[in-house]
Amino acid sequence: AGNCKQEMLQKKNAVLVDGVILNGPIMDSKAGEKFVEEACKIIMEEVIQKADDVTEKVCEWRAPETLKQILDLEMRDTGESHQKLLQLCRDVIQYSVKTSHPRFFNQLYAGIDYYSLAARFITEALNPSVYTYEVSPVFLLVEEAVIKKMIEFIGWEEGDGIFNPGGSVSNMYAMNLARYRFCPEIKEKGLSGLPRLVLFTSEECHYSMKKAASFLGIGTENVYFIKTDERGKMIPEELEKQVQRARKEGSAPFLVCATAGTTVLGAFDPLDKIADICEKHGLWLHVDASWGGSALISRKHCRLLHGIHRADSVAWNPHKMLLAGIQCCALLVKDNSGLLKNCYSAKAAYLFQQDKFYDVSYDTGDKSIQCSRRPDAFKFWLMWKALGTTGLEERVNRALALARYCLTILNPEYANICFWYIPPSLRKMEDGPEFWQKLHQVAPIIKERMMKKGSMMLGYQPHRGKVNFFRQVVISPQVSREDMDFLLDEIELLAKDL
Ligand code: ABU
């Protein structure tokens, strides 16, 4: 860089402002291209080609202090060499969890889809922001096409929607939208003068409902949690009772959030019966189908969401069961009269000029609470184009068939396999508080051992009075029956001394 500066200064036309030479670019594109090419080669060899290799580790566990040293996290005054940077890329890959590994069963996402991955490479390289047609013509049209198709699967004749960062955000959007329909003046006047608003959701709902209520100024005490049955489904009669209770208290019920695919048990609320209650009381029905929405693609399993067409809004995350890549989440709204835009728009004149030379209805960014927004619909679109609806359907059917391959405490309704492992020392113990207290300690020990060995990953949790149990989530098309058998054998092996 020093030599370049000297050469530049010697040239007659060198222009300096505040001591900075302005001639020519300051970036070495050739070196940059070479770096990207070599980094891509590492990604190909270390991530993509190893994605379905069960002889590889799922994770290379290191304690935080050790990992900090390995990674050399310090950012210095001068940049690192090309080779050092490539080594850093290798290190990052080595010590990251391989979520595409067939034995990664830890979260509500897993596996690799090559088409959505290629789509992500394209969007990362193009770096668009999806707010106006002028900067994102292709991605805005793609988003419109994907939303239209998702709406068809929900069963609405028309609708609207927006992709956003996560199911939690979709739920927050829906809560705010329901409140806006209930009292549109809130947008200008704010919260003062509102009655005590109350919403209803099941005790198995996602924790984002509480967060949204707190963030939006509704208050977590005004979220009424409705009892569920033994499978984790909302009991409609309990909902009816709670709506009546809220009315008697003089508060203003405005929203019911049903869950299609609960986080831990994978349960589906009875949407038709809940929709009857919402209709009777004039309540907005939101369905959090972030996890379970993808069952709509399967002719065999779409009955799980029977009645979803009666919802006012739906959250659906194709990044979970369908492998569209994090994050790919849509909030879909039945209203097509502009409710979404009216609720969220701020009409920034510098971005959404109304006198542009093209149809400004394609500048859909003002429907969003974000300004900059990623083109998340594109990865879902390219994958859908590649696999077709039947390919997506096959994925859902296969994941659910694999889940049913294991007999569990609760025969899984979706792809969540929940089970206790009873180790040898507890097998002859009498049922009682001591048994449950000891069983509670088993899953964390096995989890630690599997992580340190790197052989597989699945989650555990205590849940609604039940001591720690495992939750294995089956998603990836790379998972085979052999992996399911391996998991059980591996637990047995890891826990043989317990
Ligand atoms: N809503 C994200 C759920 C995370 C998980 O349980 O895997």
The preferred substitution site among 164, 263, 320 for testing ligand 1, maximizing ligand atoms within 8 Å of CB, is 263
| pLDDT tens per residue, range 154-193 | 999 999 999 999 999 999 999 999 999 999 999 999 998 8
131, 371 contact by CB (below 8 A):
yes
For residue 48, the Cα-to-chain-centroid distance in whole angstroms is 21
For the chain, what is the domain count? Answer: 1
CA-to-CA dists, residue 114 to 48, 123, 294, 428, angstroms? 9, 14, 19, 48
67, two tokens = 């990992």
> Distance (Å, rounded) from C-alpha 195 to C-alpha 250?
9
Q: pLDDT-based confidence at 360, cuts 50/70/90?
A: very high
The preferred substitution site among 106, 107, 417 for testing ligand 1, maximizing ligand atoms within 8 Å of CB, is 107
- Do the domain assignments include residue 306? yes
**CB 107 near ligand 1, within 6 Å:** yes
- Do the domain assignments include residue 104? no
308, two tokens = 């979803």
> Distance (Å, rounded) from C-alpha 386 to C-alpha 393?
13
| pLDDT tens per residue, range 11-29 | 668 888 998 888 888 888 9
**Residue linked to tokens 């992996």:** 483
Q: At what angle do helices 82-95 and 29-43 cross, to 10 degrees?
A: 30
Residue whose Cα lies nearest atom 5 of ligand 1: it is 107
DSSP assignment of 298-364: -TTTGGGGTTGGG-SEEEE-TTSTT---S--EEEEES--SSHHHHHH----TTTS-TT-SS-GGG-G
Closest by CA to 110, choosing from 96, 126, 99, 120, is: 99
Q: pLDDT-based confidence at 104, cuts 50/70/90?
A: very high
**Residue 239, SS3?**
helix
Burial 62-90 (b: 16+ CB within 10 A, else e): eeeeeeeeeeeeeeeeeeeeeeeebeebe
pTM over 0.85: yes
CA-to-CA dists, residue 356 to 67, 128, 131, 352, 491, angstroms? 52, 19, 14, 9, 62
- Do the domain assignments include residue 320? yes
259, two tokens = 């869950």
- Do the domain assignments include residue 111? no
CA of 366 to the centre of ligand 1 (A): 29
- Do the domain assignments include residue 459? no
291, two tokens = 């996890």
**Residue 104, SS3?**
strand
- Do the domain assignments include residue 242? yes
Sign of CA dihedral 179, 180, 182, 186: positive
CA of 351 to the centre of ligand 1 (A): 35
59, two tokens = 């994770």
307, two tokens = 């009645």
- Do the domain assignments include residue 475? no
| pLDDT tens per residue, range 44-62 | 999 999 999 999 999 999 9
- Do the domain assignments include residue 173? yes
Task: State the residue range of the domain holding 233.
Answer: 126-377
79, two tokens = 């940049």
Average pLDDT over residues 203-221: 97
484, 402 contact by CB (below 8 A):
yes
pLDDT at 478: 95
Residue 1 pLDDT greater than 80, yes or no: no
> Domain with 339 in it: what CATH number?
3.40.640.10
Q: pLDDT-based confidence at 132, cuts 50/70/90?
A: very high
Q: pLDDT-based confidence at 409, cuts 50/70/90?
A: low
72, 437 contact by CB (below 8 A):
no
